[in-house]
Amino acid sequence: MAEEFYIADIHFNHANVINFDNRPFNTVEEMDNAIISNWNNVVSPKDTVYIIGDFCMGTEEKWLGYLRQLKGKKILIKGNHDKALTPDVRKHFDYITEYKEHKTNKKRIIMCHYPIPFYRSDYSEATYMLYGHVHSTLEEDMILYFKQYIKEHDNRGVSANKCQFYNAWLGYYNYTPVTLDQIVEYWKNK
Tell me which residue range forms the domain holding 56. 4-184
Rounded Cα distance between 117 and 98, Å, is: 17
User: Is 156 or 5 the better-scoring residue by pLDDT?
Assistant: 5
Output the pLDDT for position 189. 81
Q: How many CB atoms lie within 10 A of CB 148?
A: 11
Query: Which CATH number does the domain housing residue 80 bear?
Result: 3.60.21.10
pLDDT tens by residue, 77-130: 999 999 889 999 999 999 999 999 999 999 999 999 999 999 999 999 999 999
Q: Is residue 190 part of a domain?
A: no
Residue 134: its pLDDT value, please? 95
Position 159 scores a pLDDT of 61
Number of domains in the chain: 1
Q: Residue 97 domain-assigned?
A: yes
Compute how many other C-beta atoms are within 10 angstroms of the C-beta atom of residue 24.
12
What distances in angstroms separate CA 64 from CA 69, 91, 166, 170, 177, one per listed residue? Answer: 9, 10, 29, 21, 19
Phi, psi of 150 (to 5 degrees): -60, -45
142-184 pLDDT per residue, tens: 999 999 888 888 776 656 888 999 999 999 999 999 999 999 9
- pLDDT at residue 2, rounded to an integer: 92
Average pLDDT in the chain: 94
Rounded average pLDDT over 180-189: 94
Closest CA to 108 of 47, 28, 162, 64: 162
Q: Which of 53-57, 62-66, 148-152 has the lowest mean pLDDT?
A: 148-152
Q: What is the pLDDT of residues 14-32, one digit of tens each?
A: 999 999 999 999 999 999 9
